[in-house]
């Protein structure tokens, strides 16, 4: 069984790396040093890439030998700011991490995913993204849900699962200043994905 985790250096991605102990594991992210630390602790393979660039995602999948049984897309960004203060650089970063990276992953990753394989995408609940400053995060995550709904029509026997957790206590909230009440740990989300992987699979995994 071969698994690729994109966004492996984030809170959820790094937790998945620790829990995913029985497969041949490939890890990808932008920070090569953090990837190496994760790989050394897990004896995993690393492929540094910025998912916002189609050329880097294409090259990433070209370097993978054989087929994949599981892909986890855990990359993401928020950059909360009011619309009146929206900066093009921040908007691009949010959409590159949340939406375009997934688009390129579907384009180049689905052909590498084995028949009956699973692809998990960490999304966001619509009711939990309605807050001042979160226009781009909310819009990009809504686009992710619609993108997956169409991608399933083209996936032909491959399960694409949208993971919808509550607020998760990760470094993303450092941009806001505090973690919301009731936020769960990354371990809760990672374990839910692990448990689902061992079952029949589903299009939407609410945690």
Among the listed residues 95, 119, 89, the one whose alpha carbon sits nearest the alpha carbon of residue 193: 119
What pLDDT does residue 187 have?
A: 92
Contact 12, 190 (CB under 8 A): yes
Strand partners, 25: 3
Q: CA–CA separation, 194 vs 52, rounded Å?
A: 26
Global pTM? 0.93
Contacts of 97 (CB under 8 A, 6+ apart): 7, 51, 52, 75, 76, 77
Contacts of 16 (CB under 8 A, 6+ apart): 5, 8, 72, 74, 190, 193, 194
- The pair phi, psi for residue 70, each rounded to 5°, is -145, 135
pLDDT in tens, the chain (207 residues): 899 999 999 999 999 999 988 789 999 999 999 999 999 878 899 999 999 999 999 999 999 989 999 999 999 998 889 999 999 999 999 999 999 999 999 999 999 999 999 999 999 888 777 778 889 999 999 999 999 999 999 998 899 999 999 888 776 665 666 776 778 889 999 999 999 998 888 999 999
What pLDDT does residue 112 have?
A: 97
Contacts of 203 (CB under 8 A, 6+ apart): 152, 159, 160, 161, 162
Domain 2-206 -> CATH class: alpha beta
Token pair for residue 193? 């994905």
User: Euclidean distance between the first and final Cα of the chain, in Å?
Assistant: 25
What pLDDT does residue 173 have?
A: 64
Residue with tokens 């919301």: 180
């Amino acid at each position: 069984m071969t698994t690729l985790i994109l966004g492996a250096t984030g809170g959820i991605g790094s937790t998945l790396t620790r829990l995913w102990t029985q497969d041949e594991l490939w890890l990808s992210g932008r920070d090569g040093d953090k990837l190496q630390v994760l790989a050394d602790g897990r004896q995993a393979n690393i492929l540094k890439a910025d998912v916002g660039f189609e050329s880097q995602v294409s090259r990433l999948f070209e370097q993978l030998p054989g087929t994949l049984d599981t892909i986890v897309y855990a990359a993401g960004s928020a950059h909360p700011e009011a619309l009146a203060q929206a900066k093009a650089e921040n908007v691009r970063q949010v959409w590159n991490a949340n939406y375009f990276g997934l688009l390129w992953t579907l384009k180049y990753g689905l052909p590498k995913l084995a028949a009956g394989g699973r692809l998990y995408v960490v999304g966001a609940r619509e009711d939990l993204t309605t807050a001042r400053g979160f226009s781009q995060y909310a819009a990009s995550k809504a686009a992710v849900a619609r993108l997956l709904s169409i991608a399933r029509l083209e996936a032909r026997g491959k399960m694409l699962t949208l993971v919808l957790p509550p607020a998760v206590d990760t470094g993303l909230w450092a941009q806001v200043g505090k973690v919301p009440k009731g936020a769960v740990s990354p371990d809760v989300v990672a374990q839910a994905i692990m448990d689902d992987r061992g079952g029949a699979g589903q299009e939407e995994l609410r945690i």
